[in-house]
Amino acid sequence: MRKLFFLALVLATSSLADEGMWQPHQLPALSSRLELLGLEIDPENLRSLDKFPMNAIVSLGGCSASFVSRQGLVLTNHHCVYGSIQYNSSPENNLLVDGFLAKQINEEIPAAPGTRVYVTEEMTDVTDKTLAGVTESTSGIDRYKLIEANRKALIAECEASGNHRCSVSSFHQGLEYFLIKRLEIRDIRLVYAPATSIGKYGGDIDNWQWPRHTGDFGFYRAYVGTDGRPAEFSEDNIPYRSNSFLEVSAKGVEEGDFVMGVGYPGSTNRYRTAAEVENQFTWFYPEARQFREDLISIIDENSAAGSQARIAYQSTLASLNNYAKNYQSMVESYEHSDFIDRRRQTESGLAEWIDSDTTRRAQYAPAVRRLQSLIETQQAARERNLVHSYMSYATLPSTAQRLYRLAVEKQKPDAEREPGYQQRDLTRFRQSMQAISRRYDETVDKAILSYLLRRYAELPEQYRSRALDSFYQIGTQIDQGRVDQIIQDSYAQSSLHDETERLAWLDKSVEDFQSSDDPLIQYAVTSHDERMALELADKELRGQFQRWRPLYMGAVIDYNRSRDRPIYADANGSLRVTIGQVRGNRPKDGLVNRPFTSLEGILGKDTGVDPFNAPSKQLDLIRAKQYGDYALPSLGTVPVNFLSTLDITGGNSGTATMNSKAQLVGLLFDGVYESIIGDWDFDEQKNRAISVDSRYMLWVMQYMDGATNLLEEMTIVN
Amino acid sequence: MRKLFFLALVLATSSLADEGMWQPHQLPALSSRLELLGLEIDPENLRSLDKFPMNAIVSLGGCSASFVSRQGLVLTNHHCVYGSIQYNSSPENNLLVDGFLAKQINEEIPAAPGTRVYVTEEMTDVTDKTLAGVTESTSGIDRYKLIEANRKALIAECEASGNHRCSVSSFHQGLEYFLIKRLEIRDIRLVYAPATSIGKYGGDIDNWQWPRHTGDFGFYRAYVGTDGRPAEFSEDNIPYRSNSFLEVSAKGVEEGDFVMGVGYPGSTNRYRTAAEVENQFTWFYPEARQFREDLISIIDENSAAGSQARIAYQSTLASLNNYAKNYQSMVESYEHSDFIDRRRQTESGLAEWIDSDTTRRAQYAPAVRRLQSLIETQQAARERNLVHSYMSYATLPSTAQRLYRLAVEKQKPDAEREPGYQQRDLTRFRQSMQAISRRYDETVDKAILSYLLRRYAELPEQYRSRALDSFYQIGTQIDQGRVDQIIQDSYAQSSLHDETERLAWLDKSVEDFQSSDDPLIQYAVTSHDERMALELADKELRGQFQRWRPLYMGAVIDYNRSRDRPIYADANGSLRVTIGQVRGNRPKDGLVNRPFTSLEGILGKDTGVDPFNAPSKQLDLIRAKQYGDYALPSLGTVPVNFLSTLDITGGNSGTATMNSKAQLVGLLFDGVYESIIGDWDFDEQKNRAISVDSRYMLWVMQYMDGATNLLEEMTIVN
């Protein structure tokens, strides 16, 4: 059954929804439509990871990018190389302000530690291997453990060379599994980035907004050892030679033109049931937003502006705030859309279709019913799950628990350990224990814990934890004064604040923990079994989902095939292709977003104050109408950013926007406000991706920064 | 010379700027262009105040309106009848929430006290009479006084009947004066207003914004005595019969259609010099904005939210805030426009044109020079003038000064008194003295005065007041503690807080004031001569402006005639005609405002929370696509608001937007954000007026409110 959906790709030629994050191997089946839309290269090429253009596309882990020369030159978003600019900046030499350009290859500087370029080499269907040993009668927990063990084994085998990073990714919610093998290039250097006042123009204010005028691009170069294999940084390393690279178009695109984006979208939820959608938008997002706003207030109240404590929580605050806003936007978009109505309609359509045929009823009805029942079970505990998920914001107690868990896991053979506690995870684990020193303040942490325990104490009886109730002396009522005193005492007696002490626990045994008199360690030990029991119950539920959701997805795919609707898998960080057109939208009644913005828009927007502080040289060039060969005739000036119907999400940042010849015409870097809800619901009329135009990149390189060496290195076409 | 500009109306047919607020008598000269644009009625009619359509157009004093039936039915904006809805509302019968509809004529209810309908009957050129006695050698102060005396005499004669309100209005900054005679109808009743959730939909958030979805309309009826003459309210009064009225179009307009607006724009500054423009936008608006924000902070800090004091300052705060925002927007618009460059260009063009001809040089060069010098003189004292202009925000001291001034003025014959202190002003004067009781709080007033004195003390030596310095013991430095103590004491010893005591001063003599021991009265008396000396100096300056600015305007008009540019006078509250088209705009790079919004936009915008809380009945009707006959085919639904290029300003609210047959197709009620600067600079590309569409009004009347009686009374055409 799990092969069914290939057939679903027989598309109605009358309309191709621009919705869809296609796996490379699906592209040939879309070929007639792709040709009709104007694709000028053989769609067959799009399925071959080792050919142009696919092997020019790389991942930075979280961002997408592409090779734009034979010498490992990588083009991606400014915000994707931002960490490396920051890392190389100092008060005396502030690259964030000035930008950076290596005029010669030996001037290139190391990117931030941990920067990687991943080249996807193989994507292999390993569904059978992943599900090996699983039968219809396998229990939830056993199914979960079997799949996990199989995945680990596949990954371990794949990573044996030491030069690859591998993953077993679930597609269609477990209907298929693919082993994805990526070459991991570890010596990455910063080559060029425009000034932040170009690369991040508009900043957070313009985030998710149109009109947009951001020069969101920058360059890395991938280096390998003299043997051509990935290596740590060394002066002797040489540029990586990819099989192919993208040419950069100086001609660019026009309204209505075919565009294609190939990159690594992170995660979407396009196939959730109506009950899940409703719960997410009417319960989870509003509640989680409140949680975040409460935490923000607590951090604000317990750390003076500008204090060391406030600085420590800067990135926590930014993240709390980002998602609080994101959730708010999600709710607003939901309330102003007919998303839930459409989802319910689709769902009744599916139900009727299943019910109208005896075979189908036998095949799919139980899966639909069982999935609904699992969702109900899951939602019944939503308050507890929400509170638990935020418990990690109390850094010190959760650190104790993670450290003890590590000691426990280390007793097992590596392959049997919980993911995150395996040998391959230990470097990152240690780094996260070090990072606490820069992101923690005792007063703030205690206030957060106090708040979380108050929220915890509001949970119904059956969701209460005996360990928590006992340690913090919480009964049917919470005595916040007493709780705060216990927090006070336990923090005072704990040595986990201290980085050396904390790191020492990384190497200690279970017995060391059990005999410790650190109260937070003690609590981690005494509450461990309870946590494991909860985790087990959770894995049992997940195992049940792993059984029934794929069957449900099979029904969805089969149903869509019956309606000639193609089905793509939810984004999962793997390589995907999206097809669309350059096109504006109507974001609101009475308002039209035009597809292009222009240089002159920068003049109109500039206030001289960050983030609207374009370099004065740039303003002068624009006033002098110094367009060079980069003007779009129909616009009469140089285009800066453009809108397209490409279907993208987080992770697509830096994705090459390509024309019909697979030449690079832009870089995807954001979506419009109406796209925020796009992870759940792609509305063709409203959803739009924003790219920085290749003509603007070339204009900045030529006229602003004189990056002639790179202009010469790249292949620029008209 | 002052007749010159009639000739300037010979327009280049190649382009008619939509800029222009034309006097009715100018319209025939525009006739060929008007016909070309599509006007289907005789332009001659537009100059006759007693014919259709002009005599259907009325003023409400601050708002515009029009008769839409033979029975004195008046259509204007919801925000223009808002005070009357409020006046008739009670907690039990909240017309603001529910709206109001008199299903029969005897259910109509009195409008708020002071509501008037003014019908312009005559506009007579009285330039000669206004300037009678003025010669080239008349001094500034004598010129000022002569003009004032002549104006008063003309007004007194015109108002002799007792049924008219007259004014002598300056056109082209004193180049011409017109006596405007308006019938003053005093019995006005509220007939119909939709719920505020329709009439003020979008509220302050959507103010000056597009897209817009406001049902900003409402109906009054004008009543007169049984003899057909204006009368105070009486049960026996009968509806006023106008000579004509506007038909209401159910067909409405389409993008690109001819539209015309006839109403009463309040005030514009389209002919200021570059020096005046620059001073206004780079000095006055920023400084005045800061003044207002400081005052807002002081009121906020000295009155607890929800307190009696805060309530008393609600409308003061709203007004301070409105203009602080307005000034901010002015500055932003200015900074992002090339207004000052264009103005400077025009000015050098004018200078070159004058300089290139000996006769012109003799005729105009002195006026240009003298005007510039007067402006410099005026700007030199700008800090003082600004501080003085805000002094009235300290209510109690300024009340004492106004009361004493009244006593002084009353010693003179009525015709010689300062305007504002004449017999015709006394009712309003008394009302303003009563109103203080509802708008004053001692703590707040003292804090405001303290702030104003601090600002005053920063003025350079030559702009200081001996009276102020002496009373508040301010030397080269201000001792704020001592000043505050003096404020404290003088307020404590004053009885002006008390309404009865305050009103008693209205009838007291100069001697009564002089012998009073109320410190604020004492200060008013001792500082009076100094204030009068300043006023005299100011009038001398104004008299000088009255001499030179008309000559300068003559040059401007002559210059524009030489370039085939028509010239209209700045708005001054008199009846004007504006001509344009239904058209969207491009407010920003990458963004287009479409000309129409639609019913469905209300669904998209509605949050259920004020001001986006449309009645549920309305949302249901829209969801059911109950369009009736009011849909615009190209839009596929009922249009709600539309944009046009009409040139309007404050006072135009309620102006009938008419089609080429002079049928009512909408009501002007606002402008887009880009129009805020329009009082100074009309940018054809950006300036847009917003009208509520007649189809939406009729739709609301028919489907929401069942106002069948009014639909039958009006003449609705297709």
Asked if A596 is an interface residue toward chain B (Cβ–Cβ < 8 A), one would say: yes
How many CB atoms are located within 10 Å of the residue A620 CB? 10
Q: Is A477 on the interface with B (CB under 8 A)?
A: no
Confidence (pLDDT) at B524: 97
- CA B631/CA B651 separation, integer angstroms: 30
* pLDDT at residue B36 in the model: 86
In a domain, residue B381? The reply is yes
B597 to chain A: closest CA residue: A590
How far off is chain A from B341, nearest CA to CA, in Å?
14
Distance CA A577, CA A23 (A): 6
Note whether B588 contacts A598, CB cutoff 8 Å: no
Q: What is the DSSP string of A128-163?
A: HHHTTT--TT--HHHHHHHHHHHHHHHHHHHTTTSS
A465 Cα to chain B: minimum distance (Å): 39
Using the beta-carbon criterion (under 8 Å), do B605 and A589 form an inter-chain contact? yes
What tokens appear for B609 in the block?
């929370």
> Could you tell me if residue B518 is inside a domain?
yes
Q: How confident is the model at residue B339 (pLDDT cuts 50, 70, 90)?
A: very high
The enclosing H or E element of A358 equals helix A358-380
How far does B299 lie from chain A, in Å, by closest CA? 27
Q: Which domain range does residue A357 map to?
A: 274-535
| B624 inside 8 A of chain A by CB | no
A336 contacts B604? CB cut-off 8 A: yes
Nearest chain A residue to B211 by CA: give it: A590
Asked, for residue B325, whether it belongs to a domain, the answer is yes
C-alpha to C-alpha distance for B683 and A452, rounded to whole angstroms:
56
Residue-level pLDDT at A147: 96
ipTM, two decimals, is: 0.77
State which residue of chain A sits closest to B639, comparing Cα positions.
A590
Interchain contact B22–A (C-beta under 8 A) = no
Rounded CA-CA distance A514/B66 in Å is 88
B601 vs A contacts (CB less than 8 Å):
588-590
Q: What is the 3-state secondary structure (H, E, C) of A101-128?
A: ECCCHHHCEECCCCCCEEEEEEEEECHH
Backbone angles phi, psi at A272, to 5 degrees: -75, 155
The pLDDT of residue A551 is 95
Which residues on chain B are in Cβ contact (under 8 Å) with A335? 607
How many domains does chain A contain in total? Answer: 1
A216 catalytic per annotation: yes
Residue bearing the bigger pLDDT, B2 or B87: B87
Chain B touched by A336 (CB under 8 Å): yes
Percentage of residues in chain B having pLDDT higher than 70: 98
Residue A297: active-site member: no
pLDDT at B4 over 50: no
Residue A371 and residue A374: Cα distance in Å, rounded? Answer: 5
**CA A33 – CA B583 distance, rounded (Å):** 39
CB distance A77 to A653 below 8 Å: yes
Q: Would you call B12 an interface residue with chain A, using a CB distance cutoff of 8 Å?
A: no
Q: Does A623 touch chain B (CB under 8 A)?
A: no
Q: With the C-alpha atoms ordered B40, B44, B49, B50, is the resulting torsion angle positive or negative?
A: negative
**For residue B17, what pLDDT band results from cuts at 50, 70 and 90?**
low
**Contact at CB, B336 and A594, closer than 8 angstroms:** no
Per-residue CA distances from B643 to A469, A475, B210, B586 (Å): 64, 64, 9, 12
The strand pairing partners of B223, in sequence order, are: B187, B239
State the alpha helices, DSSP H only, in B248-338: 274-279, 285-301, 308-312, 314-335
Mark yes or no for CB contact B212/A596 under 8 Å. no
Question: Which residue of A213, A337, A588, A589 to mutate against B (max B Cβ within 10 Å)?
Answer: A589
Please report the DSSP string for A600-628 in residue order: HHHHHH--SSTTS---HHHHHHHHTT--T
Measure CA B141 to chain center.
28
Output b/e per residue, B80-95; b: 16+ Cβ within 10 A.
bbbebbebbbeeeeeb
- Chain B residues with CB-CB distance to A328 below 8 A: none
In this complex, do A211 and B591 lie within 8 Å of one another by their Cβ atoms?
yes
Shortest CA gap B568–chain A (Å): 30
Which residues 625-654 of chain B have a CB within 8 Å of chain A? 641
* Mutate: best of B337, B589, B693, partner A, most A CBs <10 A: B589
Q: Does A210 touch chain B (CB under 8 A)?
A: yes
Mean pLDDT of B65-90: 94
Q: How far apart are CA B419 and CA A302, in angstroms?
A: 60
Give the residue from chain B lying closest to A605, CA to CA: B336
User: Mind telling me how many Å the CA of B344 is from chain A's nearest CA?
Assistant: 18
DSSP assignment of B639-705, as one string? EEEEEE-----TT-TTPEEE-TTS-EEEEEEEE-GGGGGGGT---TTT--EEEEEHHHHHHIIIIIS
pLDDT for B189: 98
Q: Measured between alpha carbons, how far is residue B398 from residues A705, B394, B401, B433 in Å?
A: 61, 6, 5, 11
Residues, chain B: 718
- A606 Cα to chain B: minimum distance (Å): 8
Q: Is B594:A590 a contact under the CB 8 Å cutoff?
A: yes
Rounded Cα distance between A541 and A375, Å, is 10
The DSSP code for B29 is G
Q: What is the pLDDT of residue B564?
A: 81
Catalytic status, residue A589: no
B 348-387 → A contacts, CB under 8 A: none
Q: Is A344 left (phi over 0), alpha (psi -120 to 50) or beta?
A: alpha
| Contact status of A339 with chain B (Cβ, < 8 Å) | no
> Which class for B462: exposed (0-12), middle (13-18), buried (19 or more C-beta within 10 A)?
exposed
- Looking at the domain assignment, is residue A113 inside a domain? no
Own/partner pairs, A147-156, CB within 8 angstroms, 24+ separation: A147/A543, A147/A546, A148/A419, A149/A415, A149/A416, A151/A177, A152/A415, A152/A419, A152/A422, A153/A415, A154/A126, A154/A129, A154/A130, A154/A179, A155/A179, A156/A415
In contact, A316 and A274? CB cutoff 8 Å? no
Quote the pLDDT of residue A17.
52
- Whether B259 is in a domain gets the answer no
Strand spans (E) along B69-132: 73-76, 100-101, 109-110, 117-125
pLDDT of residue A639: 98
- The confidence score (pLDDT) of residue A103 equals 97
DSSP 3-state of B582: strand
CB within 8 Å of A708: residues ≥ 6 apart: A702
Chain A hits for B590, CB-CB cut-off 8 Å, are 210-212, 593-594, 596-598, 601, 641
pLDDT band at B315 (very low <50, low <70, confident <90, very high): confident
**d(Cα B576, Cα B21) in Å, to the nearest integer?**
5
Contact A232, A186 (CB under 8 A): yes
> Is the CB of B597 inside 8 Å of chain A's CB atoms?
yes
Residues of chain A with pLDDT under 50: 1-15
Query: Do B591 and B581 touch, CB atoms closer than 8 A?
Result: no
Strands (E), A473-602: 576-581, 585-588, 591-593, 596-598
Q: How far apart are CA B586 and CA B643, in angstroms?
A: 12
Does residue A589 sit at the B interface (CB-CB below 8 Å)? Answer: yes
Nearest CA in chain A to B335: A607
Given the residues A78, A79, A164, A388, select the one marked as catalytic: A79
Is the C-alpha dihedral spanning A572, A575, A576, A582 positive or negative?
Answer: positive
Distance from CA of A214 to the nearest CA of B (A): 13
Reported pTM = 0.83
Question: Considering the domain boundaries, does residue A379 fall inside one?
Answer: yes
Do B5 and B561 form a contact (C-beta atoms < 8 A)? yes
Q: Residue B56 falls within a domain, yes or no?
A: no
Residues contacting A477, CB < 8 A, separation 6+: A457
Inter-chain contact A590–B594, Cβ cutoff 8 Å? yes
Cα distance between residue A606 and residue A619, in whole Å? 9
Of all residues in chain A, what percent are helix, strand and coil, respectively (each to 5)? 50, 15, 35
Please give the Cα distance from A215 to B45 (Å, whole number).
58
In this complex, do A591 and B589 lie within 8 Å of one another by their Cβ atoms? no
Report the C-alpha gap between A368 and A554 in whole angstroms.
10
Strands A716-717, B57-59: parallel, antiparallel or unpaired by DSSP?
unpaired
From chain A, pick out residues whose CB is under 8 angstroms from the CB of B586: 594
Spell out which residues of chain B touch residue A593, defining contact as CB-CB under 8 Å. Answer: 590-592
E strand or H helix at B577: strand B576-581
User: Would A146 be classed as within a structural domain?
Assistant: no
Ramachandran class of A559: left when φ > 0, alpha when ψ lies in -120 to 50, beta otherwise: alpha
Helix (H) or strand (E) holding B457: helix B442-457
Q: Give how far A216 is from chain B: nearest CA, Å.
A: 18
Is residue A619 packed enough to be buried (19+ CB in 10 Å), middle (13-18) or exposed (0-12)? middle
A–B CB contacts, 8 A cutoff, strictly below: 68
